[in-house]
């Protein structure tokens, strides 16, 4: 992913900023020793920081479909990572370096994202934009002077380029079987397999179906006659067995 961004930036600069000039585009750390070896016009894109772009993080899962349009798996949305490049120009004269930096800045300002025709590999396959920003103020926890101090070199005019790269590597969760037109069959029972005769206290509905009495486990032994709780549940059973619109008579209610 990172090397694909490097190649996209290299081809973009050669096509729109350098335009065939004999100028090298490299990605080395611009240390003091490296600078002493530069003997030709060079544009240096030093990748000095990689961190996630939290503003672009999404929640939830994305569906993955098969040829019939059914959901077969789910995965997390892409996560974006900010690649920060320190762009410098190296020539024999400061005026030439400034002119080269101006050409690079003008090239980058013409694009809010890496041009799709410059993308290769996985970045081209994803098919989403790769946004970038140029010459924005650095965050509070970082300054360009600190970067140059860490490199051991002298402070030099530079451009700060930040490219937000989508990364799709994430766990894939397989989806369950689809629900057909017949729906799902759900039931609660203590008796044997399909076709077994139910046992225990049951009530009969107007359409002939047998349903267990509310609050009683099928197959449980009957309660004593003096159990008030059983009497109350018996009244509930009578109401459960009634059809819609029927009301219990005076003798059918709970005692």
| Phi then psi dihedrals of residue 97, to 5 deg | -65, -40
pTM above 0.85, yes or no: no
Pairing outcome for strands 42-52 and 71-75: unpaired
Please name the residue that has the structure tokens 């994202």.
113
| 147 plus 64 within the same structural domain | yes
Beta bridge mates, 113 = 131
Q: Are 113 and 132 in contact (CB under 8 A)?
A: yes
Q: Residue 2 is inside which H or E element, if any?
A: helix 2-13
| 19 plus 136 within the same structural domain | yes
Domain holding 36, by residue range, is 2-174
SS3 122: helix
User: What pLDDT was estimated at residue 55?
Assistant: 84
| 144 plus 238 within the same structural domain | no
pLDDT in tens, the chain (255 residues): 899 999 999 999 999 998 878 899 999 999 999 999 999 999 999 999 999 988 877 776 767 677 777 777 775 778 889 999 999 999 999 999 999 999 999 999 999 999 999 998 888 888 888 999 999 987 776 677 778 888 887 788 999 999 999 887 766 667 766 666 665 555 555 544 455 555 555 666 667 777 665 555 555 555 555 444 444 444 444 444 455 555 555 544 454
| 28 plus 136 within the same structural domain | yes
Q: Give the residue from 174, 206, 238 where a domain finishes.
A: 174
188/63 Cα distance (integer angstroms):
32
User: What pLDDT was estimated at residue 89?
Assistant: 95
Q: Are 97 and 157 in contact (CB under 8 A)?
A: yes
For residue 184, tell me if it sits in a domain. no
- 7 CB contacts (<8 Å, ≥6 apart)? 120
Counting the structural domains of the chain, the total is: 2
195/216 Cα distance (integer angstroms):
21
Inter-helix orientation angle 94-109/2-13, to 10°: 110
Query: How large is the greatest C-alpha to C-alpha distance in the chain, in angstroms?
Result: 110
For residue 179, tell me if it sits in a domain. no
User: What pLDDT was estimated at residue 229?
Assistant: 47
| 228 plus 163 within the same structural domain | no
| 31 plus 115 within the same structural domain | yes
Number of residues that make up the chain: 255
Q: Are 165 and 123 in contact (CB under 8 A)?
A: yes
| 168 plus 196 within the same structural domain | no
């Amino acid at each position: 992913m990172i090397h694909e961004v490097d190649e996209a930036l290299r081809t973009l600069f050669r096509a729109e900023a350098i335009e065939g000039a004999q100028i090298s585009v490299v990605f080395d750390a611009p240390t003091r020793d490296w600078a002493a070896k530069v003997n030709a016009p060079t544009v240096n894109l030093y990748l000095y920081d990689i961190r996630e772009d939290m503003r672009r993080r999404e929640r939830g899962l994305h569906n993955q479909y098969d040829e019939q349009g059914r959901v077969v798996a789910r995965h997390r949305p892409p996560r974006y990572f900010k690649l920060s490049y320190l762009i410098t120009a190296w020539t024999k004269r400061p005026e030439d370096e400034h002119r080269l930096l101006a050409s690079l800045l003008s090239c980058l300002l013409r694009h809010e994202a890496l041009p799709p025709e410059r993308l290769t590999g996985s970045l081209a396959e994803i098919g989403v934009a790769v946004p970038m920003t140029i010459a924005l103020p650095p965050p509070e926890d970082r300054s360009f002077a600190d970067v140059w101090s860490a490199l051991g070199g002298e402070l030099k005019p530079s451009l700060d380029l930040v490219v937000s790269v989508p990364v799709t590597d994430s766990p894939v969760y397989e989806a369950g079987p689809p629900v057909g037109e017949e729906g799902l069959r759900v039931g609660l029972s203590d008796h044997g397999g399909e076709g077994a005769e139910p046992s225990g206290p049951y009530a009969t509905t107007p359409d002939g179906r047998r349903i267990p009495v509310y609050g009683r486990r099928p197959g449980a032994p009957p309660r004593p006659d003096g159990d008030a709780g059983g009497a109350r549940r018996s009244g509930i059973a009578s109401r459960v067995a009634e059809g819609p619109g029927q009301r219990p008579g005076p003798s059918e209610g709970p005692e």
